[in-house]
Amino acid sequence: MPLMGGDNLIQLHNITKIYPNNVTALKNISLSIEKGEFVFIIGSSGSGKSTLLKLLLKEIEPTQGEIIINDKNITHLKKKEIPFLRRKLGVVFQDFRLLPNKTVYENVAFAMQIVEATPKEIRRNVPMVLSMVGLAKKARCYPNQLSGGEQQRTALARAIINNPPILICDEPTGNLDPVTSWEIMKLLKDINDRGTTVIIATHEKDIVDKMKKRVIEIKNGTLIRDLSKGGYSDED
């Protein structure tokens, strides 16, 4: 069994997830994502894409199957090891999830404090990442003083500040207008170009169609399509 594959950063083997209320969210999903890939996971709400992301983040455990990230089997990770797995995964959510009582700078620095970075590292890295996402001038603003796009940029900066090899985005443009959405996608592309593997769960057709990246479609918990350089639907 090809459990350890050369550049495969993430591997799912026959993953099934049945929730305690007997809802089958995922059925026998197998897929692998290579290092440096840019992947869309698409499907309507309730299709199981959120479950898939939750499995990767170790919020839940699969009922069956195995998950391997970075050559490490994380299927049954000890509770104590979960934080260290999550440090390898940057996360961005649809609702940004910034701390309202902290400035942009502090929100990003906070992620470094958690991994016990030195103040020197924090002072050096935070402005660097903020200017990369185009927020250098907003460092002292609080989240409620920012536009949605700016808030998502802050969240992105926070997600990548510790240099995770994988960036997971759950509907990152769900709360943004089309123009801003494109800016965020461009940023995600930049981040991907620097070597970070980017996984995006979305149901925005336009974006998926134009990006021409790998598309994994899930419907009713089953993987129905896995195309490199695909579009949102088969008709394209």
Decide if 108 contacts 153 (C-beta within 8 A). Answer: no
Q: Which is nearer to other proteins, 188 or 207 (CB)?
A: 188
d(CA 40, CA 135): 26
Reduced to 3 states (helix: H, G, I; strand: E, B; else coil), residue 39 is strand
Give me the least distance between CB of 10 and other proteins, in Å please. 17
Q: Which is nearer to other proteins, 83 or 178 (CB)?
A: 83
d(CA 43, CA 201): 8
List interacting residues with other proteins (CB under 8 A): 57, 59, 79-80, 83-87, 91, 97, 99, 110-111, 113-116, 118-119, 158, 162
Reduced to 3 states (helix: H, G, I; strand: E, B; else coil), residue 168 is strand
Give me the least distance between CB of 111 and other proteins, in Å please. 5
Give me the least distance between CB of 58 and other proteins, in Å please. 10
Q: Which amino acid is at 212?
A: K
Q: Which is nearer to other proteins, 155 or 223 (CB)?
A: 155
Give me the least distance between CB of 198 and other proteins, in Å please. 17
Q: Which is nearer to other proteins, 42 or 122 (CB)?
A: 122
Non-local CB neighbours of 158 within 8 Å, separated by 6+ positions: 90, 98, 107, 108, 110, 111
